[in-house]
Structure 1
Amino acid sequence: MSTEEENAIEAVAVARRERLRALREAQELLQTPDNDDDDNNNSNTNQDDEDQNDVQMKFRNYLPHDKQLQEGKVAPPALPKFEDPMATLPPPEEKKEDPFLNIVPKKPNWDLRRDVQKKLDKLEKRTMKALAQLMEEEEKKRKMAEEDAENGEE
C-alpha cells in the first residue's frame, strides 16, 4: 500500500510540475513581443501620442497649477434665480393665546398620585383590615346583645 501511495504522490507532483512549466512558457510568450506586432504597435503608439496631444481638458471644479492647463478652465454654470413662492404670500394671522394655558396637564394631580401611589396602596390594605375587624366586633356585640335579650326574656 505504501508503494501505491508513493506512486500517487509522485503522479500529483509530476502533474504540478507540468502545469507550472506551461504557465512559465505562457508568461514568456506574453512578455516577448512578436516582430509583426512591433510594427503595428509602433504605429499605434504614435497615433496615441498624437491623440493625447490633441485632447482638450476641461476643468470645472479644479484650478490646475500648470499654465497650459489653466486655459482649459471652464466658468462655473450660472444658476437660475430662485423665486420663493412662499415669500410672495402674506404671513398668516395668528391668534394670540397665552402659551401657559397649553402647559396645564389633563389631570392636575397626576404627578402627586404617581409619587404617593405605593403609600395609598398600603393604606388601602390597612383600611380594609380595620373595616373587617370593626365589622367582626359589631357582629360579636350584636350576638351578645341578642343572647342577653334572650337570657333576659326568659
Structure 2
Amino acid sequence: MGSDVAESTDDRRARLQALRAAQELLAAPTPDSTIASLDTNGQQRQPLEQEQEPDGASDTGIKFRNYFPRDSDLQKAKHAPPVIPKFEDPVATDPLQVAGGEDPIVSIAPKKPNWDLRRDVAKKLEKLERRTHRAIVELMIEEEKRRQAEAVDNMEQD
C-alpha cells in the first residue's frame, strides 16, 4: 500500500511540474511578441495600460453617443454623430412627362364629378321611374274615363 501512495505522489508531482512549465511558456515573451512590441524606431514600446491617456474618460471606457456631457473632461469622450448620406428621391428628381400638354392631376380626375353619386342612386332612380310611368298611365286612364263620362252626359242632355 505504501507503493501506491508513493506512485500517486510521484504522478502528482509530475503533473504539477508540467503545469508550471506550461504557465512559464505562456508568460514568456515569444519572438513575434517582442517584434510587435517594438515601435518604428526599434525601441521597446510601453504596454497598453501605459499608452492610454491619463484623462478619466478613456480610463472608464465611456462613449457618449447620444448625450453631450457638461464636464470638459467627459466631452473628450463624446463621439461625433454618424454621417448620414443624403437621400435623393429618384421619383422627385425626374421631371413629370406630360403627354399632350395636359395636367396629370386633371387626367386622373373623373370627367363628371358626380359619376359616383349617379352610380349609387341608379337603382333607386329606376324604381322611381317605373312608379312614375305607372302613375302617369293611371292618371291618363282616369282622365280618359272622366272625358268619356262627360261625353256620355253631354249626349244624354242633348
How would you bin the TM-score normalised by the shorter chain? 0.3 to 0.5
Could you tell me the TM-score, scaled by structure 1's length?
Answer: 0.34
Could you tell me the TM-score, scaled by structure 2's length?
Answer: 0.33
